[in-house]
Structure 1
Amino acid sequence: MANIMLCSCIVFFVALCSDVMANPHCKGVKGAYYPSWAFSTFPPSSIDTSLFTHIYYAFLVPNNTTFKFDIDDETSKLLFNFTSTLRSSVKTLFSVGGGGEGPARFSRMASTSVSRLSFIKSSIEVARKYRFDGFDLDWEFPQNKKDMENFAILLDEWRVEVKKESLATKRPQLLITAAVYFSVDFFLWGEFRSYPVPSINKNLDWINLMFYDYRGSWDTSATGAQAALFDTKSNVSTSYGLSTWIKAGALRSKLIMGLPLYGRTWKLKDPNVDGIGAPAVGVGPGDEGTLTYREIEKFNEENNAKVVYDSATVSAYSVAGTSWIGFDDTNSVAMKLHYAQSQRLRGYFFWAVAGDKDWKISTTAKQSWIIS
């Protein structure tokens, strides 16, 4: 097994180096999102920048009518603090949108050439003013085929404007990335639609694949591995999602594996039946059934929880009484990143950086990723 993994990593190294030779900007990505609401308890200066290459400020949201970014004085101070603290050590991007924003604003923004240009021009202005290296679009999620068509047009026009600005100012081109669904198509809910892979390959520097939130408080009937690498009972898994992107023609050198620094919790129906898929009757501890990895470590220690590594899903879970927590530990993260490298992916990212405990997971990730 070890020799197979070593050979896979060597193949990955050769493939990625070929990409680097063709594109000097094609290097391994070790990213993490920084939630702005954590500023008071976890300022940017708290981040161990030696563990990352890119940090995303989350989130900025454009005006609902003009689709420009209206930055108030408080946010302006946060942005200057963020980039001035970090940019000498890592690349910084600001992420637009987020899961709490919803899709409607972006659907309207992307629907006309005028609104798209307003958004694009403003994004470039914000990036340059606050000294970001680029931007990340977190549109969760395009709802139909028309949205996907407009998503492609938006990326085309964004790249054109970024190139134009770079030539005019003689500055390096700003990075354009996007956070996307775990699968290239939406087969679980809503209208069937697929991401425009040709436009993504052409225009984005990379995409952050959100390989998490497979299970959670929306289904309290049974426990689950919320970021399962494998799932023999369904297609809701990282390995399946990744395969759909690759089959659709997405360049492996633009695919970034998303990893959660949080877990999902359930209340067991019977504390004696506690495996993955065990019957549950509600959410467990945490905010709406969610705990950061830092909180999970504390919970496990204080409650003398039983901690189990599940090799079938490549995940971990802990049990204390009727409380059940599914999460990623150092073992599962290491195995996932070995898998990512065997698939010749570009790198990984975490949601969200403030959730780690003593940098255990982030350090494991960096040590597991053999490409700098």
Structure 2
Amino acid sequence: KSVICYATNWPQYRPGQGKFAMSDTDPNKCSIMVFAFAKIVGNKLVNYEENDIGANGQYMQFTQLKQQYPSMKTLLAVGGWTHGGDPFSAMAATAQGRAEFVQTTVAYLRQYNFDGLDLDWEYPKANDKQNLVLLLQELRQAFDAEAAAGMSPLMLIMAVAAGLQNAVPGYDVPALNRYLDYISVMTYDYHGTWEDQTGLLAPLNSPPGDDLSMTNSLNWWVQSGASKSKIHVGLALYGRNWKLANPGDTAIGSPTAGKGTIGRFTREAGVLSHYEICERLINGGYTTVLDPLGQINYAYNGQEWITYEDTVSIASKVQFILDND
């Protein structure tokens, strides 16, 4: 089994104990590490942060982790939720745009010592579907041509939607399966503070009539043509939190009055790092519940309501993966 781990380049700006540089990463459990993120500007990969590049930059700190773990691969992810889909759509829409992206991407990955690319296009629309296939085909051809010339093979993976409202129109699954080394299904964020009621971040199963679950997502990907051997299942090491409209109404689906209390390290309303959640639970006052159907936790205290994973819920999902291999 392989484990893909993501490290993001913005925790370097967090205060105190929350501050985290790429050199602080401990990837001893990871087969592949992915640096998140780069962006697309004018059909080319560009670093997000000024200190990503240069001597002892975040890129260099990240790829140097291979000195300690030589069998591990380090990949660069492009895109992400904040980046959006428009730069991908514009680049992939023309043969010239794709060719420029492919050619410069190979050079960029080699320049900064990455072992491959992770496309995090959130999300391709119906009119992007064929262009995405062409982009993947042309990237694969370029990567294979390099390998045939004696270079170490570059990996090509993609983070894809778990929600069927985005997956069904956006992906030609057999084509993705043909060109990608791995397909990383983002089986989390099924619910969050964009909704006006509480919900589970990443339920393994969901009630009848609700297709928002890891099981339903993964079944769709396999039935649509993805090889089980290529699928990687996303596990979220963070949580989502709401402010309850009524502190006495604490069940899943309870009405909310906005986002929960901001974490003192992440400083982003509606999301908490795992260590911020642990700190709150240790400090006391929270009632915790492991939802038997979703196999994921929620906790509440006054108006605060948090959904999150822990070692028990992660273990149940890993067991599900092993049982369905």
Match of 1:155 among 136, 142, 150: 136
SS at match of 1:223: coil
Change (3 A) 1:46 1:182: same
2:27 match: 49
Aligned to 2:79: 97
What pairs with 1:136-285 in structure 2 (closer than 5 Å)? 136-144=118-126, 146-168=127-149, 170-183=150-163, 186=166, 193-220=169-196, 222-233=197-208, 234-285=210-261
2:234 is paired with a residue whose SS is: strand
277-286 or 120-129, larger mean C-alpha shift: 277-286
Distance in 2 of aligned mates of 1:185 and 1:155: 22
1:109 is the counterpart of 2:109: no
- Aligned amino acid, residue 244 of structure 2: L
Distance 1:128 1:166, change over 3 A: same
1:192-214 C-alpha deviation (Å, 9 max, x unpaired): 61411121111100011101111
In structure 1, what is the Cα distance between the partners aligned to 2:195 and 2:38?
30
- Which is worse superposed, 154-163 or 175-184? 175-184
CA offset at residue 312 of structure 1? Answer: 1.3
Q: TM-score with structure 1 length normalisation?
A: 0.79
Q: Distance in 2 between matches of 1:68 and 1:280?
A: 42
Query: Counterpart in 2 of 1:10?
Result: none
Between 1 and 2, higher relative CO (CA 8 Å, sep ≥ 6) is seen in 1
Q: Which runs of 5+ in 2 are unaligned?
A: 14-18, 263-267
Distance 1:45 1:51 in 2: 16
In structure 1, the gaps of 5 or more residues are 1-27, 345-372
Cα-Cα RMSD: 1.7
Q: What is the CA-CA distance between 1:165 and the residue it aligns to?
A: 1.3
2:278 corresponding residue in structure 1: 297
Rounded to whole Å, the distance in 1 between the matches of 2:32 and 2:296 is 25
Contact kept? 2:161, 2:185, Cα under 8 Å: yes
Deviations along 1:321-358, one digit per CA (max 9) or x if unpaired, are: 111101111111000111111121xxxxxxxxxxxxxx
* Percent of matched pairs sharing the same residue: 32
Q: CA deviation at 1:302?
A: 2.2
User: 1:166 deviation in Å?
Assistant: 1.6
Distance in structure 2 (CA, Å) of the matches to 1:185 and 1:252: 22
Partners of 1:88 and 1:123 in 2: how far apart? 26
How many equivalent residue pairs?
A: 308
Establish whether residue 31 from structure 1 lines up as the match of residue 12 from structure 2: no
SS of the residue aligned with 1:173? coil
